[in-house]
Amino acid sequence: MSNRKGVNNSLSFDYIVVGSGPAGAVIAKTLADNKRSSILLLEAGENKDRDIPIRNSAFALELEEEFFPNYFWQGEGVPQQNLDGRSFEWTTGRLSGGGSSINGEQYVRPTAAVLREWERLNGPLWSPRRALQRFKRLEKYNGKTNNRNAHGYHGKINIRQAPANPTRMADKLTSAIERATGFTRILDYNDPKTPMGPFTRWQLYQQPDGRRESSSTAFLRSGIASSAMIGSGDRKLRIFYKTTLLRVLFSGKRAVGAEFLKEGRRVIAYAKKKVILSAGINSPQLLMLSGIGPAADLKKAGIRVIFDNPNVGKRLRNHTLNFATFTTNPEDRPLPRSDPDALYTGGAFLPDPTPGENPARRGVQLIGLGSEDSLTLAILYLRPKSRGSIRIQSKDPLQIVLANEGFLDDPRDLETIKLIYRTYILDIASELSAIDGAYRLISPTIETIHDDAKLEEFIKQTFEHNHHQQGFLRMAPFSKGGVTDSRGRVHGVSNLIVADASLVPFTVDGNTSASAYLIGYTIAKQIRDHKVRSPSPKKRLNKRVTEREQE
């Protein structure tokens, strides 16, 4: 095996995992648990679990708005033509835990309706029944439910239902949604029997004392990995922080390793079994830099094509995000004084109000965001028709991709959002005011909602960005727009896997982090429990990865 100048070629592991977010951390820990396999986990950021803004859940909403450079990748998507040319951040967490260390902490599983679609496309591995079993193995639930069989109580991920005693503001909002929609109040929206309705308690990625629970604190904590970034309990796990993947290395069409920058130094590590990408929104760029993607784009960027797959970076989806704001009663608090980590003031999951849509299926998510003088409803449309794309600009691994999220490209999305305001928001406003006259809708005004042109302008001007990107490396047969098969194996090559929310084949009906955990754990179990005969490590490591193969 040859050494290129300035490159350290001495590292060899069974598996190389890229990214420590919800999927990557689960995969690294699951593979390391068999005590025989060696795993290298690469993370571009540092471990910030002890930093107050990361540890303290009270900072969760501020983190999502400020995008501090010490915790986030810094980037911006392309201007959105249907939103008056506005552009939005293109970012995720750049630290141990990835997006799970900086998100809004909402734990929302995909419903059985979504999982049945996954199952029809990708087989029984993704059935609602199997997904529920895996969620139960992953979670350590701390809350109330009418169905104890819907949750797990001994997993690694702490889930706290909060607050235990909701405020009057949350209770009034929930009552208004009940009256306005006809859906009765529910206790547990992750119970498959009660996926829709208003509620006062969110389920949060939090430890029992309210501190943030991330994939880092759950799966890379003391007892699993030591402070020296080495696996504990005989696990053959090593973690490289401050390490940015440049590309996956191939011998022919077999993935054999990874080239990366570790604290400014270029390093190569070899994978005797598999390379696994769990880098979220960065996964498509890493695939394209490695030679897998639309051939014309790769050639234009000067990248040698390993496999021509025009599906890479296509079908990008994101939920829409809009708002409605109310005045409040100054006597009502948004959160209990004893529990500021509860974060949210009630919420609801409701069907798409469009005539002809399935009334028994989630289509809208409402999130109560209370303050001392206002109550804002965040409005997420969960089944958008618009699709975006991710394109590479050059073979420079540090140049950001062209991410076009395509918001409102399909005019049906705008029509649905307008209908959400004209049905749900108007009716909720009326019922809330009837419960307490201090609650009045002030943004948008009722006059604006009734005026089509004004409402469209309001929606576009106040439209915000959700970090629920999904589907751009679709898990599906190649002929159906797929980039990976049902086990995350990348089409056209061997020993390369993708496992994160980029695989989502049909849009999830809630926050995406729970789906990322599910995808990571499912694929990790398939890798660990299914033995595949491989060439001997010595034979493979002696294969020369030449400059010609990589350029």
137-158 pLDDT, tens digit per residue, is 999 999 999 999 999 999 999 9
Structural domain ending residue among the three candidates 462, 480, 498: 462
- 443 in the same domain as 361: yes
Which candidate, 484, 377, 481, 487, places its Cα nearest to that of 424? 377
- 330 in the same domain as 302: no
- Determine, yes or no, domain membership for 431: yes
Model-level pTM? 0.93
- Determine, yes or no, domain membership for 74: no
- Determine, yes or no, domain membership for 59: yes
φ, ψ of residue 49 to 5 degrees: the values are: -60, -25
Which candidate, 102, 100, 83, 78, places its Cα nearest to that of 400? 78
111 pLDDT band, cuts 50/70/90, is very high
Q: How many domains does the chain have?
A: 2
- Is the separation of the CB atoms in 92 and 72 below 8 Å? yes
- Is the separation of the CB atoms in 11 and 83 below 8 Å? no
- The per-residue pLDDT for 415 is 98
Pairing of strands 139-142, 157-162: parallel
- 227 in the same domain as 271: yes
Q: At what angle do helices 112-122 and 128-138 cross, to 10 degrees?
A: 120
- 2 in the same domain as 61: yes
- 256 in the same domain as 187: no
- Return the percentage of the chain with pLDDT > 70, whole number: 94
- Determine, yes or no, domain membership for 413: yes
- Determine, yes or no, domain membership for 362: yes
- 324 in the same domain as 440: yes
- Determine, yes or no, domain membership for 123: no
Q: What is the CATH number of the domain that holds 255?
A: 3.50.50.60
- 508 in the same domain as 416: no
Only one residue has tokens 């799966």, namely: 219
Res. 525: pLDDT tops 90: yes
- Determine, yes or no, domain membership for 46: yes
- Determine, yes or no, domain membership for 396: no
Q: What is the CATH number of the domain that holds 180?
A: 3.30.410.40
Res. 4: pLDDT tops 80: no
- The per-residue pLDDT for 551 is 29
- The per-residue pLDDT for 7 is 52
DSSP helix, strand, coil percent of the chain (3-state; round to 5): 30, 25, 45
Tens of pLDDT, residues 348-389: 999 999 999 999 999 999 999 999 899 999 999 999 999 999
- The per-residue pLDDT for 8 is 56
- 352 in the same domain as 454: yes
Tens of pLDDT, residues 346-355: 999 999 999 9
- 191 in the same domain as 329: yes
- The per-residue pLDDT for 384 is 97
- 267 in the same domain as 170: no
- The per-residue pLDDT for 9 is 54
- 446 in the same domain as 348: yes
Q: Give the range of the structural domain holding residue 367, as residue numbers without chain letter.
A: 165-200+320-383+408-462
- Region 174-180: what's the mean pLDDT? 98
- Region 244-266: what's the mean pLDDT? 96
Average pLDDT of the chain to the nearest whole number: 93
Helix locations, 264-336, DSSP H: 283-289, 295-300
Res. 6: pLDDT tops 80: no
- 252 in the same domain as 288: yes
Question: Under the phi-then-psi rule, with left for phi > 0, alpha for psi from -120 to 50, and beta for the rest, what region is 378?
Answer: beta
- Is the separation of the CB atoms in 352 and 383 below 8 Å? yes
66 pLDDT band, cuts 50/70/90, is confident
